[in-house]
Structure 1
Amino acid sequence: MTDIPTFPSMRQVDAGALSVGYAEAGPASGPAVLLLHGWPYDIHSFADAASLLASAGYRVVVPHLRGFGSTRLLDDAAPRNGQQSVLALDAIALLDALGIEHAVVAGFDWGARTANILAALWPERFRGHVSVSGYLIGSREANARPLPPAAELAWWYQYYFATERGRAGYQQYRNEFARLIWQTASPQWGFDDATFDRSAASFDNPDHVDIVIHNYRWRLGLADGASEYDDLERRLARRPSITVPTITLEGDANGAPHPDAASYGSLFVGPYEHRLITGGIGHNLPQEAPRAFADAVIDVDRSAMPSRSN
Structure 2
Amino acid sequence: MLLAFILLGSIAAFLLSSVAGGGAGLLLMPVLVLLLPAASAPAALSIGTATSSASRLIVLRKRIRWDVVRWFVPAAVPAVFAGAWLLTFFPPIYIQVLIGLFLMGNLPAVFRKTIARPTPLPVESRPRQLLLVGAAAGVLSGFTGAVGLLFNRFYYRLEMDKEEIVATRAANEVLLHLIKLVLYASFGLLTERALFAGAVVAVGAIVASVITPFTLRRLNEVFFRRIGLAAMAIAGVTMTTTSSAQVIAQNRLGAAVSVAPREVELTTRARGRQLSVEIDTIEGPVIEVPARLTEIPAEARAEIARKVGQGSVVSVEKALSLAGRQWEIEFRRDGRVYEFNLPRADVD
Name whichever structure is richer in helix by fraction. 2
Under a length normalisation based on structure 2, what TM-score does the superposition of the two structures give? Answer: 0.27
TM-score (norm 1): 0.29
Larger radius of gyration: 2
